[in-house]
Amino acid sequence: MLKNRTLVFGASGFIGTRLVSRLAAAGHEVEAVDILPPRQRIDGVTYSTHDVRHPLPVEIGRGVSTIFNLAAVHRTPGHPDSEYFETNVAGALNVAQLATDCAIKTIVFTSSISVYGPSENVLDEQSPLNPVSAYGKSKRLAEIVHQQWAQVVGDRRLVIVRPGVVFGPGERGNYSYLAKALSKGYFLYPGRKDTVKSGGYVDELLRTFDFALERYEKPVLYNFAYPDESSIQDIVTCFQSIMERKAKPATVPLPLLMTAAGTFEQAAKLGVKTPIHRERVLKLVRSTKISPGWLKSQDYAFSTNLKTALEAWKRETEGTFV
């Protein structure tokens, strides 16, 4: 990893927090930017508060050689459609303008596999794009914004990453919830066991950033996921092995789940705070079969797999998987 002054947008999120820590440990001069306060403060890192929905001050871009744009509204459902476009697209425009104003030559942008739309087929970087959610559509438009920035001047470098499900310390998402449910003994398979969820460990994702930046290819666009598919049952079995749990969870029929989720949605309209929603239930039974085609074509050597990644997570968090 070449050392330089680096700007990280979305630095207070799960991946951003991990990235800032990694960059600082490697000796980079880092400015961490977010609308939210940082989860942790690291010595030597400059923290600033800015909203990517609005023009960004050129002061933060002076002397910067690389921008990591991780800023996004991503929880679906959970926001009005307009909010995905306001942050993800307007944010891309403002980050690209800052890069132009400050002659910053390199941007790494985290997009999403949602640009492909739901599918039970294996999808690689050459697969047709068919985003159906506001989030997916906003991420595709943000890709185009970054691509247009890269095309204006020949020496600009752009890396676009389309990650699957990313997990690891600080995730606070589906993998963390799954680990908690398994440890408490109340996990049930939602609708089916064979749903494939492609993805990988957060530190592996960051290694691919380095790998892509070291390539001479311009621009780089790639999917991030382990090359071996993992179904929900595979993930549960792996967790159970590492946690030394032997329970065999039952499967709840999808119609029953949808009925229950609909009841929670009605309660939410009355002011009851709940994360349960029929669209989230459907996401649990829809496969995301993503192939890391570009990484494989470049002979990228994965340093982890599902099992070793979960083991690393367990060690770092002393078995809490937080």
DSSP state of 56: P
The domain covering 5-163 belongs, at the CATH homologous superfamily level, to NAD(P)-binding Rossmann-like Domain (3.40.50.720)
Structure tokens at 176: 């963390």
Structure tokens at 8: 């990280």
119: three-class secondary structure by DSSP: strand
Q: What phi and psi, each to the nearest 5 degrees, are found at residue 3? A: -85, 135
Contact at 8 Å (CB) between 243 and 183?
Answer: yes
Whether the model pTM is above 0.85:
yes
Residues facing residue 66 across a β-bridge: 6, 106
- pLDDT per residue, tens digit, the chain (322 aa), is 445 799 999 999 999 999 999 999 999 999 999 999 999 999 999 999 999 999 999 999 999 999 999 999 977 666 789 999 999 999 999 999 999 999 999 999 999 999 999 889 999 999 999 999 999 999 999 999 999 999 999 899 999 999 999 999 999 988 999 999 999 999 999 999 999 999 999 999 999 999 999 987 789 999 999 999 999 999 999 999 999 988 889 999 999 988 988 888 888 788 877 777 777 777 788 899 999 999 999 999 999 999 999 999 999 999 999 9
Secondary structure string (H, E, C) spanning 20-54? HHHHHHCCCEEEEEECCCCCCCCCCCEEEECCCCC
Domain locations along the chain? 5-163, 167-199+226-322
Query: Which CATH class for the 167-199+226-322 domain?
Result: alpha beta
Report how far apart, in Å, the C-alpha atoms of 106 and of each of 43, 165, 200, 305, 306 are: 25, 25, 25, 29, 31
